[in-house]
């Protein structure tokens, strides 16, 4: 992409996940993480990717060097830095030399807009700050670099001293910046304020979508309005939007590009990425959440697992007839999918729709449908949660229809936990013995584990491996325990959710009991059974083809 040839309807997306997003508490990126994210953003069609601050740490230096060796396909990688230091010539500032050494065509420079930060933070004069902004941009321009100027704390600065804040923008423009980006760094500005202030800036400096000088917006989410503020700025003429994937960022985060991009493109008609790239948005959101090792937000707009999930029976019935009744866009446009959720709120429509997703065709008049629904509601009343454990619900449904294949039968199991040893040095020690019947043959096995569930899982796998070697590919990916009635103390009922994977698919099973070992056993057993069912179905499909 070439920013100079953009049509008036184009919004230039600027991603700062690798720099601003990485400032989120608990988020840490390795060099390999940064490279992987950058390449995913490149595939997504993001035109500007801020890579970090060269010279601030060795990892960022290596990042820019690596991308010079193996460039991205379409995105501009941008180096980030501050203005020169007070009382020093720009060409003599070593930090600026490090930025030049990164070799990027574009540099984003931030400077102070708020007089409070100039006098209290930088400990310099207001005139010197203006000189720092203009001198630094002129220096980068003399080195044939193109400059995006981020006006830090712009909105707070404007509200406290509008005349001086406007002078800082004028200094950046005189220095040769091609983009002026207004930053709500503290994240406390509201949309109506953004609208009024951006309108004043547009009028004052005559920004245009097609001229060499254009306006951008950078918002934070401390008041919960980052996305709304960015949209307000665009409606007033801003043509660059800065943000992060999944809204990662310091404190409450940055504007979430996973909400902004579809809002801009699908709701307001602007061009941000190609339609086929927009269809990668949900995948990109989830992939990047995996890379940064943070659980994805299932309820995130557009890209969340629950963004197009339907639970109430009336909702499901309506969506089955016409998705527009309860969906604001077709989920496929952002690479998401419709989900019918099964719970005690479900009606027959939920059961029928979920059955179809399992490849089961049910007749609404079939009395089995109501039996399944009643059984579901009874179990949910006991503490089961099938909306989070669809594998268990499919097994329940197939059992009611006489389609549940008996791969094995558990006849007995015992779990022994030894806490008598030096637990601080060696940890706890558990042993499980299990008796399983497979093909009318009884197998007795024992196994150790670092806990009772681990030992039980190991013993069961050991007993089944000779009959079902594919179990070797199954592994537990998540284990969640919830106490359902905390006032009951140690007698409380426990719900266990276990997520399993065969390396291709993931599935979740549930167990409920007053005994946490019993609840875990239920979920573990159904997890293995469901995996075997998937393998059996795959083999049958190959045979039939």
Report the interhelical angle of 94-101 vs 126-142 (nearest 10°): 30
Specify if 343 maps to a domain.
no
Over the stretch 370-410, which tens digit does the pLDDT of each residue have? 888 888 878 877 888 776 788 998 999 899 889 998 899 99
Locus of tokens 């040769």: 176
Residues 6 or more apart from 321 whose CB is under 8 A from it? none
The verdict on residue 90 lying in a domain is yes
The whole-angstrom distance between residue 155's C-alpha and the CA centroid of its chain comes to 28
Of 214, 240, 273, which residue constitutes the final position of a domain? 273
State the greatest distance between any 2 C-alpha atoms of the chain, in Å, as a whole number.
Answer: 89
Model pLDDT for residues 265-312, shown as the tens digit of each residue = 999 999 999 999 999 999 999 889 878 888 789 899 999 988 988 876
Of 235, 255, 273, the position where a domain reaches its end is 273
- Kindly report, residue by residue over 218-243, the tens digit of the pLDDT: 999 999 999 999 999 999 999 999 99
Whether 33 is in a domain gets the answer yes
Q: Residue 472: give its domain's CATH number.
A: 3.30.160.270
User: What is the spatial distance between Cα 489 and Cα 486, in angstroms, rounded to a whole number?
Assistant: 6
SS3 321: helix
Classified as helix, coil or strand, 494 is: strand
Tokens 């399983």 label which residue? 436
pLDDT-derived band at 7 (thresholds 50, 70, 90) equals very low
Query: Would you put residue 399 in left (φ > 0), alpha (ψ -120 to 50) or beta?
Result: alpha
What's residue 425's pLDDT?
57
Q: How far apart, in whole angstroms, are the C-alpha atoms of residue 229 and residue 223?
A: 10
Poorest-pLDDT segment among 59-68, 268-277, 413-422, 427-436:
413-422
CA distances from 358 to 355, 393, 525, 536 (A): 5, 10, 20, 14
Instruction: Evaluate whether residue 335 is within a structural domain.
Output: no
Percent of the chain predicted with pLDDT > 70:
92
> Which band of pLDDT confidence, cut at 50, 70 and 90, is reported for residue 244?
very high
Domain-embedded: residue 64: yes
The helix (H) or strand (E) run that includes residue 511 is strand 506-513
Mean pLDDT of 58-84: 95
In the block, tokens 């043959």 appear at 441
Percent of the chain past pLDDT 90, that is, above it, reads 62
Is residue 313 a contact partner of residue 346, using CB atoms and an 8 Å limit?
Answer: yes
How many C-beta atoms surround the C-beta of residue 503 within 10 A?
Answer: 8
Q: How far apart are the first and last CA of the chain?
A: 44
Domain count, the chain: 2
Contacts of 379 (CB under 8 A, 6+ apart): 386, 396, 512
Which CATH number belongs to the domain containing residue 192 in this structure?
Answer: 3.20.20.70
Name which residue leads in pLDDT, 312 or 67.
67
Between 451 and 181, the more confident residue is 181
Residue scoring higher pLDDT (320 or 390): 390
Q: What is the per-residue DSSP string for 388-450?
A: G-HHHHHHHHHHHTT------EEEEEEEEEE-SS-HHHH--EEEEEEEEEETTEEEEEEEEES
In this prediction, residues 322-329 reach a mean pLDDT of 87
Query: Confidence class of residue 343 from pLDDT cuts 50, 70 and 90?
Result: low
Burial class (CB in 10 A: 0-12, 13-18, 19+), 99: buried
Predicted confidence at residue 374, as pLDDT, reads 83
Please tell me the least confidently modeled range out of 65-69, 112-116, 314-318: 314-318
Given a contact cutoff of 8 angstroms between Cβ atoms, the answer to whether 129 and 168 are in contact is yes
Q: Is residue 107 part of a domain?
A: yes
Query: 429 near 418, Cβ under 8 Å?
Result: yes
Asked if residues 55 and 82 have their Cβ atoms less than 8 Å apart, the reply is: no
Give how far Cα 367 sits from Cα of 57, 345, 360, 370, 378, Å: 67, 19, 15, 6, 17
Give pLDDT tens digits for 184-221: 999 999 999 999 999 999 999 988 755 778 999 999 99
Average pLDDT, the chain: 89
Is 302 part of any domain?
Answer: no
Residue 130: count of CB within 10 angstroms of its CB: 21
| Domain that residue 439 falls in | 409-544
Domain boundary among 241, 273, 305: 273
At 455-464, the pLDDT tens digits run 999 999 999 9
50: in domain: yes
Distances (CA, A) of 476 to 234, 291, 473: 46, 19, 10
């Amino acid at each position: 992409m070439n920013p100079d040839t953009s049509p008036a309807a184009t919004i230039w997306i600027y991603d700062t996940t690798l720099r601003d997003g990485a400032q989120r508490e608990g988020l840490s990126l390795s060099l390999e993480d940064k490279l992987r994210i950058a390449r995913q953003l490149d595939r997504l069609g993001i035109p500007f990717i801020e890579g970090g601050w060269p010279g601030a740490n060795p990892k960022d230096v290596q990042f820019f060097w690596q991308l010079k060796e193996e460039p991205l396909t379409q995105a501009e990688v941008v180096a980030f830095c501050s203005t020169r230091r007070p009382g020093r010539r720009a060409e003599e500032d070593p930090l600026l030399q490090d930025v030049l050494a990164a070799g990027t065509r574009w540099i984003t420079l931030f400077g102070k807009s708020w007089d409070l930060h100039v006098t209290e933070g930088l400990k310099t004069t207001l005139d010197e700050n203006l000189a720092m902004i203009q001198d630094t941009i002129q220096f980068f321009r003399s080195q044939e670099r193109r400059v995006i100027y981020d006006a830090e704390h712009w909105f707070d600065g404007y509200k406290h001293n509008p005349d001086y804040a406007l002078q800082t923008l004028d200094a950046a423009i005189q220095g040769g910046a091609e983009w002026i980006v207004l930053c709500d760094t503290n994240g406390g500005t509201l949309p109506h304020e953004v609208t009024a202030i951006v309108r004043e800036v547009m009028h004052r400096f005559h920004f245009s979508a097609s001229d060499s000088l254009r306006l951008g917006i950078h918002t934070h989410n401390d008041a919960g309005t980052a996305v709304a503020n960015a949209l307000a700025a665009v409606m007033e003429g801003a043509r660059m939007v800065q943000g992060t994937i999944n809204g990662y960022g310091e404190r409450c985060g940055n504007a979430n590009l996973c909400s902004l991009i579809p809002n801009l493109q699908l709701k307001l008609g602007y061009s941000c990425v190609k339609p086929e790239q927009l269809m990668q948005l949900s995948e990109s959101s989830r992939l990047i959440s995996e890379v940064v090792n943070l659980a994805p937000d299932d309820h995130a707009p557009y890209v969340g697992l629950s963004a197009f999930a339907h639970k109430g029976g009336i909702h499901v019935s309506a969506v089955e007839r016409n998705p527009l009744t309860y969906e604001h866009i077709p989920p496929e446009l952002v690479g998401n999918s419709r989900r019918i959720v099964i719970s005690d709120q479900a009606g027959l429509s939920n059961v029928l729709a979920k059955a179809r997703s399992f490849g089961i065709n049910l007749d609404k008049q079939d009395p089995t449908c109501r039996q399944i629904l009643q059984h579901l509601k009874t179990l949910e009343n006991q503490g089961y949660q099938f909306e989070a454990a669809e594998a268990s619900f499919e097994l329940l449904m197939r059992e009611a229809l006489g389609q549940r294949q008996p791969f094995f039968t558990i006849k007995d199991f015992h779990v022994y936990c030894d806490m008598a040893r030096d637990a601080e040095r060696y940890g706890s020690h558990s042993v499980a013995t299990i008796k399983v019947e497979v093909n009318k043959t009884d197998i007795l096995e024992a196994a150790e584990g670092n806990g009772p569930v681990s030992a039980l899982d190991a013993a069961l796998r050991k007993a089944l491996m000779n009959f079902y070697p594919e179990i070797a590919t199954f592994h537990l990916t998540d284990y969640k325990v919830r106490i359902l009635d905390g006032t009951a103390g140690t007698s409380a009922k426990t719900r266990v959710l276990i997520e399993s994977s065969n390396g291709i698919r993931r599935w979740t099973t549930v167990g409920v009991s007053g005994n946490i070992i019993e609840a875990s056993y239920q979920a573990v057993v159904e997890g293995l059974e469901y995996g075997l069912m998937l393998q059996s179905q795959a083999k049958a499909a190959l045979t039939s083809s």
